[in-house]
Amino acid sequence: MSLLENRVGFVTGASRGIGRASAQALAAEGVRVAIGYREDKDGAAGASALCPGSIVVRIDVTVPESVAAAFDEIQQTLGPVEVLVNNAGLRRDGLLIRMKEQDWDEVIAANLTGAFRCTKRALPSMLQRRWGRIVSIGSVAGSVGNAGQANYAAAKAGLIGFTKTVAREMASRNITCNAVAPGFVPTDLTNALLKQMEETILKQIPLGRFGTVEDVANTIAFLVSDDASYITGQVVQIDGGMVT
């Protein structure tokens, strides 16, 4: 039996895209998954239909009370969270010279502070069990930057430091913390941009293709599996060779 069989997992932002694919990948390994969503309840229900034993949970990671309520609901229904995937986030792109403070604050709150809140809330039960797996969704923008994404790149870079620190603090309790950094992966949020700049972008990718949500989800499933029990504090680039 897999170490993941009947573990309780929570994927934030799982109503579509990478989050949805990640929930499916975990469910395929026997994890009982909580599908987190903020607004798209129908999308979350559709994701849940593909994940046996899953539930749907509303969460706004920018609101502390919403995070607490979501974790309480999961514990009452499935049990304490043992596998956490910090995927919820948003973008407010624009050149720094024109960027509104609200756009900066909202992106940092959703992409970085939200991961802090969820991770902190998940840790007590992981510590009690002396077992836990945490994976946060970064981006190549956090490693190399990207014009027009100062807020997003800063948040994702912050996730790298956050991941490495949590890994060091929790390693003695058999809790691993890693991040994945996708490159160009078509999702609802990125489709328009990728179609508009497809030729230019593909020239930057040595493998010559865009990634898929399954490429990311399969890596996450590996990082929380038995086979990755000696891997922690790492950022796995899933970008076709863009960042080496």
Cβ atoms of 187 and 139 closer than 8 Å: no
Dig out the tokens for 114 from the structure.
């939200």
The torsion of the CA quartet 190, 195, 198, 200, rounded to 10 degrees, works out to -80
How far is Cα 81 from Cα 93, in angstroms, rounded to an integer? 33
Nearest to 132 by CA among 143, 119, 115, 141: 119
Helices and strands in the chain: count of H runs, count of E runs? 10, 7
Cβ atoms of 197 and 225 closer than 8 Å: no
Cβ atoms of 180 and 135 closer than 8 Å: yes
Task: Show which residues are catalytic.
Answer: 152
